[in-house]
Amino acid sequence: MKKILLISQLILSLSIYGQGFELVTLGSDGGVMDGNVSGYLLKGEGDENFIALDAGTILPGIKVGLEKGSFKNTIIPKETEWNDIGYIFREKVKGYLISHAHLDHISGLVISSTEDTKKNIYGLNSTVETMKNNIFNWQIWPNFANEGEGFKLNQYTYKVLDLNKEYVLENTKLKVKTFPLSHSNYESSMFLIENEGDYLAYFGDVGPDKIERTDKLEKTYRALGPLLKNKKIKGIMIEVSFDNSKKDEALFGHLTPMWINKELDILAKYSGIENLEGLNIIITHIKPSLKKNDDMRERIKKELNESNIYKVNYIFPTQGDLLLLK
């Protein structure tokens, strides 16, 4: 009897603390509408708390996520003094992983900081230095952080991530390893996030190695290859800013569907072609067009799906969508 109880408890705990991820898109685009630029909330399946992957848009994304029912697994206590947006933002987002400090990846964090709680900002040294010197400096914005110019409000603690070292993201089940990327000669990053043996790869803005004259993307594929072989990667989030009409010299550190296909050729080399089939590739950072009757998102979708020789599973989330990656 005791044994049966133990087994059933074990099954229950496995189902509660399963692997995989929950991802809520806060901002799906790479410009030009403020209120919907690069930001995502990620948590390990069975966890209560989120980490933000970039922070271009925070509160408007949580609002749309609530409207779409994407926080159905988040318990909001009745006695809280905060509204639902405020509670999720203040109590359930436990930190920010910033891929690089371009405005479309940090503006939501800055604007909402006056209502935020004590959290860590994680990033490469170059990212942290840029935020320290150019954002939280009492000129662009008060210094809400623990280092930098003038009086320090100490709400945010900078956590510099060293390359190839694994860090626990505090108050979550997640761990992260960081790889550098080249984004028009500016440093960006790829975060390899682990939840109990399952992984998600989040690429910040990045240009093709060939154009950036580097091997940084290839190095990330080398790291992802063995994990793909073992079916441990539950999703790859990567940018496609422009459609194929964009000339290489006008890319400025971004990717197109044509370049995604070339990058997949190299990823296939390290992982085996067969291991890419069905792989979740989540497309981020699409730059909307303001021209009449011109839908950049639809065009990129079409170009990717028409040339999908590896049969990967392209996903194009929009603001507020919930994705379960298992």
| Residue 102 or 246 having the CB closest to Zn ion | 102
The distance of closest approach from Cβ of residue 179 to Zn ion in the complex, given in angstroms and rounded to an integer, is: 16
Q: Of 193-212, which residues contact Zn ion (CB under 5 A)?
A: 205
| Residue 194 or 205 having the CB closest to Zn ion | 205
Determine the size of the site formed for Zn ion (CB under 5 A).
4
The distance of closest approach from Cβ of residue 102 to Zn ion in the complex, given in angstroms and rounded to an integer, is: 3
| Residue 204 or 235 having the CB closest to Zn ion | 204
Helix pair 257-271, 296-306: axis angle to 10 deg:
40
Could you tell me if 285 and 240 are in contact, meaning their C-beta atoms sit under 8 angstroms apart? yes
* DSSP label of 142: -
Could you tell me if 297 and 314 are in contact, meaning their C-beta atoms sit under 8 angstroms apart? no
* DSSP label of 115: G
The distance of closest approach from Cβ of residue 196 to Zn ion in the complex, given in angstroms and rounded to an integer, is: 30
The distance of closest approach from Cβ of residue 71 to Zn ion in the complex, given in angstroms and rounded to an integer, is: 25
Site stretch for Zn ion (CB under 5 A), options 98-106, 108-116, 132-140, 276-284: 98-106
Residue 148's nearest CA partner among 186, 171, 121, 188 is 121
For Zn ion, the binding residue among 22, 45, 104, 198 (CB under 5 A) is: 104
The distance of closest approach from Cβ of residue 199 to Zn ion in the complex, given in angstroms and rounded to an integer, is: 23
For Zn ion, the binding residue among 94, 102, 119, 173 (CB under 5 A) is: 102
| Residue 30 or 257 having the CB closest to Zn ion | 30
The SS3 of residue 54 is strand
Report H helices in the chain.
2-16, 59-67, 84-87, 103-112, 125-134, 209-212, 216-229, 257-271, 296-306
Asked if 254 interacts with Zn ion (CB under 5 A), we say no
- Using CB atoms within 10 Å of the CB of residue 137, give its burial: 0 to 12 exposed, 13 to 18 middle, 19+ buried: middle
SS3 content of the chain, % helix, strand, coil (to 5): 35, 25, 40
| Residue 71 or 242 having the CB closest to Zn ion | 242
| Residue 29 or 303 having the CB closest to Zn ion | 29
**What is the C-alpha separation between 44 and 278, in angstroms, rounded?**
21
The distance of closest approach from Cβ of residue 180 to Zn ion in the complex, given in angstroms and rounded to an integer, is: 14
Q: Contact residues for Zn ion (CB under 5 A)?
A: 30, 102, 104, 205
